[in-house]
Amino acid sequence: MEPRLSDTFANSRRGATEVKNDNLELQTWSDLPAELLQIIMSQLALDDNVRASVVCKSWYSVANAVRVVNQSPWLMYFPKFGQWYEFYDPVQRKTYSIEFPELNGSRVCYTKDGWLLLYRPRTDRVFFFNPFTRETIKMPRFEMTYQIVAFSCAPTSPDCVLFTVKHVSPTVVAISTCHPGATEWTTVNYQNRLPFVSSIWNKLVFCNGLFYCLSLTGWLGVFDPSEHTWSVLSVPPPKCPENFFAKNWWKGKFMTEQEGDVIVIYTCSSENPIIFKLDQALMEWEELKTLDGATLFASFLSSHSRIDLPGKMRNNIYFSKVRFYGKRCISFSLDDYRYYPRKQWHDWGEQDPFESIWIEPPKDFSGFT
């Protein structure tokens, strides 16, 4: 008796299913799609990423591509009252609460290389504090009225210099400097060229051996600590749309250094941020449409730049505001050209500029114990 056509189809389907099942059984973890592996690997901490990379060649390739070479800065919150400080890790989206009674009565001035620079208004005491090691380095007393202060590198380095500038008259600025181990601050008056006007809204950054000071109106002053010179660059302010100069626009400006370049970020409410790089050859501001994989961390007093962070964080700006009960930091993606979470842009006029700041944990730091 010849087999029926329906039986032939059934046997064919049964054979195909058995072959498919045999193929599935032969598949291993190394056969996972690269796109899925990237998503998984980008969520791993550095030590877990290294462990995963030794499984096989395909895992090594993906793990190495998304590996966190640099430690992401953490966002540190300063309480209005009490001694408990919060740290937010944007990679793991975790928050830590730590008690620092040694910071009582102080306000933050600047951060760099994992160190805080703080000031006690009641006593004019200036000091460095490392929240990850709890080490303190005292500096000579100095009265800071309406000034922003910055430093060049970690206070444990012999090259560390502190810098601040204020106006004495329209054509004269007073620049004060100090270094760890000094017994007093040095203040020298320099001739100043308008339209640079110093104020509490200055943005300071140390880049290529120079302190750059962005004024309220967008003009750049430059101080050379080795040559003890002050100059105002003939670079017109960055060009922004008129609507960027709305209420509290001065609080939405940020400046940082990225691999030898001075970077400025302008924000305005729901408008997309505008990023500029100082072209020192042409002496003009160049608008950037991409960060080429870098990540910027913007806060009022000091901002930071990082490369080689997890893939999802690259080409993004992270701002000093956390939403959704500490689960998500406000960021702007230059790839998607929008804020995350959606419509979660921030009005900087509503935020106390001294309440939070980005700070760099030590390399491979996994959290407070």
pLDDT score, position 352: 79
223's CB contacts (< 8 A; 6+ apart) are 163, 165, 175, 210, 211, 213, 229, 230
The answer to the question of residue 74 being in a domain is no
Answer yes or no: do 192 and 223 share one domain. Answer: yes
Does 153 lie in the same domain as 46?
Answer: no
Which one-letter DSSP state was computed for residue 362? Answer: P
pLDDT of residue 69: 64
Return the CATH number at 132.
2.120.10.80
Number of domains comprising the chain: 3
Cα 333 to chain centroid, rounded:
14
302 lies in a domain? yes
Q: For the domain that residue 55 is a member of, what is the CATH number?
A: 1.20.1280
Position 13 scores a pLDDT of 53
Helix, strand or coil for residue 139?
A: strand
Q: Does 172 reside within a domain?
A: yes
Residues 183 and 214 in one domain: yes
Same domain, 276 and 333: yes
Task: State the pLDDT at residue 5.
Answer: 43
Asked if residue 96 belongs to a domain, the reply is no
Q: How far apart are CA 367 and CA 283, in angstroms?
A: 43
For 44, the domain range is: 30-62
Are both 175 and 212 inside the same structural domain? yes
Q: What pLDDT sits at residue 8?
A: 46
**Domain-embedded: residue 84:** no
Q: How far apart are CA 297 and CA 304, in angstroms?
A: 5
Among 214, 230, 246, the domain-final residue is 230
**220 with 332, same domain?**
no
Task: Yes or no: say if 259 and 231 are a contact pair by the CB < 8 Å rule.
Answer: no
The pLDDT value recorded for residue 36 is 84
List, in sequence order, every residue forming a beta bridge with 212; answer none if it has no partner.
Answer: 205, 222
Same domain, residue pair 311 and 338: yes
- Please say which residue of 230, 259, 290 terminates a domain: 230
Residues 6+ apart with CB under 8 A from 357: 75, 76, 78, 108, 111, 116, 299, 300, 301, 302, 320
pLDDT score of 17: 52
Q: Compute CA distances 130 → 124, 134, 149, whole Å.
A: 20, 5, 17
Tell me: do 346 and 257 sit in the same domain: yes
Q: Kindly tell me the burial class for residue 98, based on how many C-beta atoms sit within 10 Å of its own C-beta (0-12, 13-18, 19 or more).
A: middle
Do 298 and 320 lie in one domain? The reply is yes
| In a shared domain, residues 261 and 225 | no
Locus of tokens 């339209």: 195
Cα separation, 194 vs 182, in Å, equals: 32
pTM: 0.82
Q: How far apart are CA 224 and CA 352, in angstroms?
A: 31
Q: What percent of the chain has pLDDT over 90?
A: 58
Q: Are residues 347 and 263 in the same domain?
A: yes
Residue burial 190-212, b: 16+ Cβ < 10 Å; e: rest = bebeeebbbeebbbbbbbeebbb
Regions in the chain scoring below 50 on pLDDT:
5-6, 8-9, 16, 19
Task: Select from 197, 230, 263 the last residue of a domain.
Answer: 230
Tell whether 69 is covered by a domain.
no
Does residue 12 belong to any structural domain of this protein?
A: no
**In terms of C-beta distances under 8 Å and separation of at least 24 residues, what long-range contacts does 335-338 make, across chains too?**
337/272, 338/272
Structure confidence at residue 58 (pLDDT): 82
pLDDT digits (tens, 9 = 90+) for 162-200: 999 999 998 999 999 999 999 999 999 999 998 998 888
Q: Which residues of 236-246 are buried (b: 16+ CB within 10 A; e: fewer)?
A: ebbebeeebee
pLDDT of residue 14: 54
Assign 67 to helix, strand or coil: coil
What are the tokens at 267? 């924000």
Residue 278 covered by a domain: yes
**What distances in angstroms separate CA 325 from CA 94, 166, 321, one per listed residue?**
11, 39, 11
Residue 350 per-residue DSSP state: G
221 lies in the same domain as 239: no
CA 24/CA 32 separation, integer angstroms:
12
